Amino acid sequence: MEPIINYLFQIGFSFSIFILISLGLAVIFGMMRIINLAQGEFLMLGAYFCTICTQSGINLWLSIIIAALAVGICGIIIERLLIQWLYGRILDTLLATWGLSLLLVGAITTIFGPQTESIASPLGNVALGELLIPIYGIFMIATSLVLLLLLYLLWRHTRFGLIVRSTMQNSGAASTLGINQNLVYMLTFGFGCMLTGFAGAILVPIVGAYPTLGLVYIAKSFVTVISGGSLPLLGTISASSLFGTIDGVIATISTSVIGEIVVLFVAIILLRMLPLGITGRMTKGV
């Protein structure tokens, strides 16, 4: 029984990391088609905001919320200053966001220094027979599931979700119907950044915050979103489940390095067979 629970936990944990780091990018790249190379740095900002809040005495759970909102606001500011001039210009966006990424890493290094800032991992562990499992890991799995549910409700059952989806599908038609597409783009970008900042804040108690933290996750999140295909939510779920299962099992049997190699290998084969991603041919749903 214990080995099965252990595998389930490892898979769930890996799944939750894939979900957390990819959801923001699924909005920004999957829906808005912006190749945002600074996505990892938004995650890093979330980690730093959360650390600063916690170190100044704010409760960790509140800090995570504050960090997510703060990164969302940063995202809106960056959209107004930089991204809004570049919609539809993929190569220019790529260069501009790469520059933004370097700028943010440099700025954070200058302000906080290059060392790892961290906060203590909360909650301790729970024993299942002889197997010890960190409660924070279980919290991460639960959080990612709740987040998915909330996003589903948001996209499918709110007016905001409807407007965003229609604008992304056909901005011309949406604006004829009286929708302010500038505003929608701005809010959607900010929302994507907020999700990424949330991921950074959630990850901080286990990995710490350092200026180059984003680089660890940026490639993984792009691979997940691209493999997921055009539907931001279903695509991310399916790709994360696939990669999380592979990574969780392989990394437990052999090593983390082999786990990552196999994930990338599977992604290559997957994209060879389904160039548009897992949900590439689906037109309905989110």
Partner 1 sequence: MKLNRRQFFIGASGALAFASTPYLLKGAGIASEKPIRVANILDKTGILNIYSLKQIQATAMAVDEINSTGGLLGRPVELFFYDSQSDGQYNSKYVTEALVKDSVNVIHGGITSSSREVMRPIVSRFKGLLFYNSLYEGGVCDRRHVSTGMVPAQQLEPLMDYVISELGHKKCYILAADYNYGHITSKWMQKFVRERGGEDLAVEFFPLDVNNFQPALSRIQSAKPDIVLSALVGGAHIAFYRQFESTIGKDKIALASGTYGVGLEHTQLSAKEGNGIIIATSFFDDLNTDEANAFVKRFKEYTGDKSYVGEYAEYGERGIKIWAESVRQAGNASPEACIEALSKGTVSINGAGGVYTVDGKTNHTTMDIHIVTGHNQRFNVVKSFKQRPPRDTQMVCDLHQNPDDSTQYEPEV
For binding to partner 1 (CB under 8 A), which residues are involved?
3, 6, 9-10, 13-14, 17, 109, 113-125, 130-137, 205-208, 210, 212, 215-216, 248, 251-252, 255-257, 259
Rounded CA separation 200/219 (Å): 15
Q: Which residue lies nearer to partner 1 by CB, 113 or 275?
A: 113
Q: To the nearest whole angstrom, how small is the minimum distance from the Cβ of residue 172 to partner 1? A: 44
In whole angstroms, the minimum distance from the beta carbon of 176 to partner 1 comes to 48
Considering the complex, what minimum distance in angstroms separates the CB of residue 125 from partner 1? 6
**Residues found in the chain:** 286
Measured from the CB atom, is 14 or 143 closer to partner 1? 14
> To the nearest whole angstrom, how small is the minimum distance from the Cβ of residue 88 to partner 1?
34
Query: What minimum distance in Å lies between the beta carbon of 214 and partner 1?
Result: 12
- CB nearer to partner 1: give 86 or 266: 266
Give one DSSP letter per residue of 37-78, joined into a string: TTHHHHHHHHHHHHHHHHHTT--HHHHHHHHHHHHHHHHHHH
Tell me the closest approach of the beta carbon of residue 26 to partner 1, in angstroms.
21
283's tokens? 């037109």
CA quadruple 68, 149, 188, 206: dihedral sign: positive
Report the residue number, 41 or 79, with the smaller CB distance to partner 1: 41
Amino acid 252 reads T
| Residues in Cβ contact with 7 at an 8 Å cutoff, skipping those fewer than 6 apart | 248, 249, 252
The nearer residue to partner 1, 261 or 268, going by C-beta atoms, is 261
Question: Any idea what the Cα angle at residue 191 is, between residues 28 and 32, rounded to 5°?
Answer: 25
- Closer residue to partner 1 in complex, CB, 77/261: 261
How far apart are alpha carbons 203 and 109 in whole angstroms? 19
Looking at residue 209, what DSSP letter applies? B
